[in-house]
Structure 1
Amino acid sequence: MKLDRVLTIVGAAGLRAIAQGPRIIERFALVVALLFVAFSSASFASQQPMLAFAARVAGDDARTRVVIDFESKPAFSVHYIGKPERIVVDLSATAFGFPAGDLAPRGLFKDIRYGTMGEDSARLVFTTSRPVKLVTAEVRQNEDRGFRLILDAEITSQPQFDAMLKTQDWGQSAAVPPQDIDPPVEDGVFVVAVDAGHGGIDAGASGATTKTPEKTVTLAFAKLLADKLNKIEGVKAFLTRDDDTYLSLSERVTVARQHHADLFISIHADTLPQKDIRGATVYTLSDKASDRMAENLAARENLSDQLAGYQVEDAKPEVADILLDLTRRETQAFSVALADNVVKSFDGQVGLINNPHRQANFQVLRAPDIPSALLEMGFLSNSDDEKLLLDENWRDKVASLLAEAVHRYHKRSVANGG
């Protein structure tokens, strides 16, 4: 009850007390005193803000996590604002007791602001570098002290962000719009992410004779492979990039996950100092490279983000929540099965390097929940390989063999209950 309403009621009661004599006035005065003490105490308690005592931000240009620790459990609501794209988090009265540097912008956020909005509310405003969506917005209890608010932001497309702006309910406490804005997947459909290596400012390698950039070769082949995969019943393929656009390594994996990919294939055509080495190679992920050549190739491919001016961060906030060892082992087993199918499909049909299935720590293969492989179709540093890589008929043949390998892998996975 507001103070002006209380005063109105007290005033009316006081007039009646005066009319009834001194003893009633005395009792009335005591009641009024107790009433104002209770009102003042309740009002003081309601204005006590909850304490946000710690904060941290970590992530990259595809996914960024914010964690804020509170003494008590916070109630919150989330809204999206456009032009520029922002995420707004509204809280009840909050005292921000952590150093400002702990909530410094990074990853997807180019600016983070926070503060009180009045006696009873506070607000956090995250200005993003591109359209984003929240895939996680929840409060969890800490083991030692208080609660933590977890916000996971992830890249999305401009049309999807615009759709969220139109459908959001500013009064709801849920942070994520109720509709599924990711592409729907039909039951029983096997989804393949075909990743054309490099793109945009990152041209990759270049041909020894023609100087053709790797990004052009990989995109042409990726489109051909996706077309062939889409002709297989029960298989749906999509491209992580369908034009000369730069995508960071993390973005490629995030796009695959947003499309609910069951398989990720990254296409490359690298160069080597040894001009005589030629043939296709299939790589799967391993913390320890199978050989020096694989280690050097992975190191060079992992520099893609830095070459394009992106800062690479090793921080993996709350990484134990998703990178479960069991999941990684199972995913790795499927990845190896895929690589074996590709090698068998190519054998005798496409030139292969010695030991054609190799392992290395490629960043683009690190998704713990999506079986992944990287195909080096050949080496642009070798003139014979270069001629083949630029030959449409040869690319068509290789794409057909690779599509057959994926189809065979899928059928065996289904038969084995995978």
Structure 2
Amino acid sequence: MMRIVTLLVVALGLQMSPAWSSSSAVDATTEESAEPLLAYSGRIAGDRARTRLVIDFDRKPTVDIRYISNPDRIIVDLPATVFSLDPETFGPVGLFSEVRYGSIDRQSARLVLTAARAARIVENKVIKDEADKGYRLVLDAEMVSQQDFDALVRGQNWLGEGQAATVAATTIDPATASDKFVIAVDAGHGGIDTGATGATTRTPEKDITLAFAKILHAKLMAEPGVVSVLTREDDSFLSLSERVTIARQNGADLLISLHADTLRQPEIRGATVYTISDRASDNMAAQLAERENLSDVIGGVVLTEEPSEVTDILIDLTRRETQAFSISLAQSVIASFQGQIGLINNPHRYAGFRVLQAHDVPSILLELGFLSNKEDEKLLLDPAWREKVATHLVDAIRRYKAPLMANGG
């Protein structure tokens, strides 16, 4: 049933396109890239007028610098790089309020400098190390007026890496999936966007969600009549819009986005199931949605207005039907977890999560637990517990889809 609605919406030309996708996205036929560079040392020093960044590499890097507004950021694109930098010496200083770095995909990495005040790179040079240990990247930043920064953004003829098509980590042959129930499994965060970190082990959320996604994917692929697609299967960054688009491109009947956040109240623990809503169910849900929606900012994505959809009764009905299916799935997950997997109080909550925005794909965001709670953190790292949760989640999906498939959906 949902697949028919999706095809009708696409036929009307209403399918959303990705707001951003990496210009070096991994094609299914692309060979593995060469061994990544190693950024083995770095330091940042300066004040609110001028700030210098120095990064030492084992081999010569290529550098591409761009500027993004709202918020103002300087983006430094690099080849695939393993970062081994000390946050004590390579952290926010002077002109920059936040410094993030990490992989984007198998071929590229990124340094994102969030400006405390408008700034530009006035000198960018790569020099050979005096001791012949490698190469040194030196970036000198200088304050500029907001007007000048805005002019930089407008003058670079760059609105984001939209040249390449979005490619799922796993893709489905349309002929194979035509009579299957397709589920998009989305491992939250990835690459430069590490997500939350464990209270005790400092394990990044992106690793936990990916490990669980692979377990869930394997179990779903063993289910009769079900096909699973992973939005990512490695440590790659995906924008929120890309995640939604991957689900759509594969004709997904469901999207399940996996997360393991942190809270300021370390005593709170348990799984939570979120669905989308213009109005948050509570303050905690609103704050969580705000943090999750910052993923694009962290990754250096140009934030643009979502494509406006034609105001039509069909679209409105589709959105309402999709929301009803999303709520039904959330209730099925909670029923399957009850008494088996720890749940937070009021486990079904809702807020404006951008990754759940598809009007034609029922979607839930599953918080597996909270990394700010030591007991939850221990469970999240336990392979046996992950298997147990995945088993109950598959059971919930089985219950959810049974009446739909019986009705020819």
Do the two structures share a fold, i.e. TM-score over 0.5? yes
TM-score range for the pair, normalised by the shorter chain length: 0.5 to 0.7
Matches of 1:269 and 1:391, distance apart in 2? 14
Residue in 1 that maps onto 2:272 = 281
Out of 357, 363, 370, which is 1:372 matched to? 363
Larger Rg belongs to: 1
Report whether the alignment pairs 1:106 with 2:97: no
- Residues 312-339 of structure 1 show CA distances to partners (whole Å, capped at 9, x for unaligned) of 1124245547981111000001000000
Report whether the alignment pairs 1:252 with 2:305: no
Residue in 2 that maps onto 1:40 = none
Residue in 2 that maps onto 1:96 = none
Matches of 1:323 and 1:290, distance apart in 2? 27
Residue in 2 that maps onto 1:201 = 192
Residue in 1 that maps onto 2:335 = 344
Corresponding letter in the other structure for 1:106: L
Matches of 1:322 and 1:106, distance apart in 2? 32
Residue in 2 that maps onto 1:214 = 205
Out of 195, 215, 228, which is 1:224 matched to? 215
After superposition, the CA RMSD in angstroms is: 2.7
Matches of 1:396 and 1:321, distance apart in 2? 43
Structure with greater helix percent: 1
Residue in 2 that maps onto 1:262 = 253
Give the CA deviation at 1:408.
1.0
Residue in 2 that maps onto 1:313 = 304
Q: Cα 1:157–1:336, aligned 2, differ >3 Å: closer, same or farther?
A: closer
Corresponding letter in the other structure for 2:159: R
Report whether the alignment pairs 1:61 with 2:5: no
Matches within 5 A, 1:134-213: 155-156=166-167, 183-213=174-204
Q: Cα 1:270–1:237, aligned 2, differ >3 Å: closer, same or farther?
A: same
Residue in 2 that maps onto 1:398 = 389
In 2, are the aligned partners of 1:183 and 1:258 still within 8 Å (CA)? no
Calculate percent identity across the aligned residue pairs. 60
Residue in 2 that maps onto 1:407 = 398
User: Which SS does the other structure have where 1:324 is aligned?
Assistant: helix
Residue in 2 that maps onto 1:68 = none
Q: Cα 1:312–1:379, aligned 2, differ >3 Å: closer, same or farther?
A: same
Corresponding letter in the other structure for 2:307: K
- Residues 85-143 of structure 1 show CA distances to partners (whole Å, capped at 9, x for unaligned) of xxxxxxxxxxxxxxxx9xx653455xxxxxxxxxxxxxxxxxx2xx23xxxxxxxxxxx
Residue in 2 that maps onto 1:20 = none
Matches of 1:192 and 1:315, distance apart in 2? 24
Report whether the alignment pairs 1:388 with 2:379: yes
Corresponding letter in the other structure for 1:391: D
Bigger relative contact order (CA 8 A; separation at least 6): 2
User: Which SS does the other structure have where 2:177 is aligned?
Assistant: coil
Matches of 1:343 and 1:392, distance apart in 2? 21
Matches of 1:315 and 1:220, distance apart in 2? 31
In 2, are the aligned partners of 1:323 and 1:368 still within 8 Å (CA)? no
In 1, are the aligned partners of 2:220 and 2:228 still within 8 Å (CA)? yes
Out of 276, 295, 318, which is 2:286 matched to? 295
Give the CA deviation at 1:156.
4.5
Residue in 1 that maps onto 2:98 = none
Give the CA deviation at 1:416.
4.5
Q: Cα 1:156–1:347, aligned 2, differ >3 Å: closer, same or farther?
A: closer
Matches of 1:413 and 1:315, distance apart in 2? 30
In 2, are the aligned partners of 1:182 and 1:258 still within 8 Å (CA)? no
In 2, are the aligned partners of 1:59 and 1:317 still within 8 Å (CA)? no
Give the CA deviation at 1:414.
2.1
- Structure 1 residue runs without a partner (length 5+): 1-57, 64-100, 110-127, 133-154, 161-180
The TM-score with structure 2 as length reference comes to 0.60
Give the CA deviation at 1:311.
1.8
Corresponding letter in the other structure for 1:385: D
Matches of 2:355 and 2:167, distance apart in 1? 19
Matches of 2:184 and 2:190, distance apart in 1? 16
Matches of 2:291 and 2:358, distance apart in 1? 19
Matches of 1:289 and 1:271, distance apart in 2? 18
Report whether the alignment pairs 1:325 with 2:378: no
Residue in 2 that maps onto 1:164 = none
Residue in 2 that maps onto 1:13 = none
- Structure 2 residue runs without a partner (length 5+): 1-16, 23-153
In 2, are the aligned partners of 1:59 and 1:313 still within 8 Å (CA)? no
Aligned pairs, number: 261
The TM-score with structure 1 as length reference comes to 0.59
